[in-house]
Structure 1
């Protein structure tokens, strides 16, 4: 019986940890584009990003890409030496470190037209990353983890997270109750 309760507790901790992560589609329904005149600075300011959250860049890969860059490169729209480049049109990036993460479209003129994004990932209660930083690669996989660019940026946004985060937490609590009920019933 004690082993079942410990297993249930372990499951609960995993579920609660996973329930804290949110997925943000960059630009919401417009996605990553220059056509819809999306204000990505405004978009990011309405979100609160945490370690473990995922940002999803959806775009037409024939016309756009995503480059992760340093702060100076971001400010000047310099595409010469990006930290990484994503080209699938459906790039899912998990944020593993706090600080600012800088992205823009490397197609000539797109960054200057406003297709650029500064995400500020807030420091969690414990500052341990969820995973080790990835090894560098010239062509990262569609789903990857990134670390902060390590440079200063604008002050953090304290806006509320997406409502889906709350729904995920409610699901986690319900799952917790089911596990506890099953554990008590089985004993």
Structure 2
């Protein structure tokens, strides 16, 4: 029974491995969320994916976090309809791909202190299709053209008999199949194989 439970746990881990691999990013790293930090430089070079988390660490009551639109981000204007986060350790899950903007709406921390950050969220690597090289079929290539020689010959009939006729292949082009399995599919297949192996091993005990 213990072996079956172990294999079941391994199968669940294999199936849900993409969500387990989500990363947590502390905004500003050890400096945290405060004024006079170049958050554009902090975000540069980092790859944020759907499922990752942004963590804003700061002193409660001193700063806050507000998610805004691009125009509001440039103007450092937080909308009155959006309630700011104020816990001092705010976790924001990046649930959708695209550009995300965040500012501090306390005083003039955004305007004068540059307390704002923008990140670009990419689709999860496990769900993005693998790049497939394009292949050209033989029918797509132009057929070679033949031109009759212009030099004078004995007569037209003998010249046509000596000229070979070249015909382009008209048979069906071979179909090419490209692999499109993603990491998530492989994980699921592996998970089911582990489950089946566990069940077989359990009955063999």
TM-score, normalised relative to structure 2: 0.56
Instruction: Report what 1:120 is aligned to.
Output: 120
Structure 2 unaligned blocks of 5 or more: 129-190
Contact 1:68/1:84, CA 8 A, preserved across alignment:
no
Instruction: Report what 1:50 is aligned to.
Output: 49
Contact 2:68/2:79, CA 8 A, preserved across alignment:
no
Question: Relative to 1, partners in 2 of residues 1:82 and 1:104: Cα closer, same or farther, differing over 3 Å?
Answer: farther
Instruction: Report what 2:11 is aligned to.
Output: 9
Deviation at 1:9, TM superposition (A): 2.6
Question: Relative to 1, partners in 2 of residues 1:102 and 1:22: Cα closer, same or farther, differing over 3 Å?
Answer: same
Deviation at 1:12, TM superposition (A): 1.4
Instruction: Report what 2:25 is aligned to.
Output: 24
Deviation at 1:74, TM superposition (A): 0.3
* Aligned mates of 1:42, 1:105 — CA distance in 2: 18
| Matched length | 132
Does 2:37 correspond to 1:38? yes
* Aligned mates of 2:70, 2:81 — CA distance in 1: 11
Structure 1 unaligned blocks of 5 or more: 128-175
**Greater fraction strand:** 1
Instruction: Report what 1:91 is aligned to.
Output: 90
Question: Relative to 1, partners in 2 of residues 1:61 and 1:88: Cα closer, same or farther, differing over 3 Å?
Answer: same
Deviation at 1:84, TM superposition (A): 4.2
Segment of structure 1 superposing worse, 99-108 or 17-26: 17-26
Instruction: Report what 1:111 is aligned to.
Output: 110
Instruction: Report what 1:71 is aligned to.
Output: 70
Contact 2:109/2:115, CA 8 A, preserved across alignment:
yes
- What is the RMSD computed on CA atoms of the aligned residues? 2.9
Secondary structure in 2 matching 1:60: coil
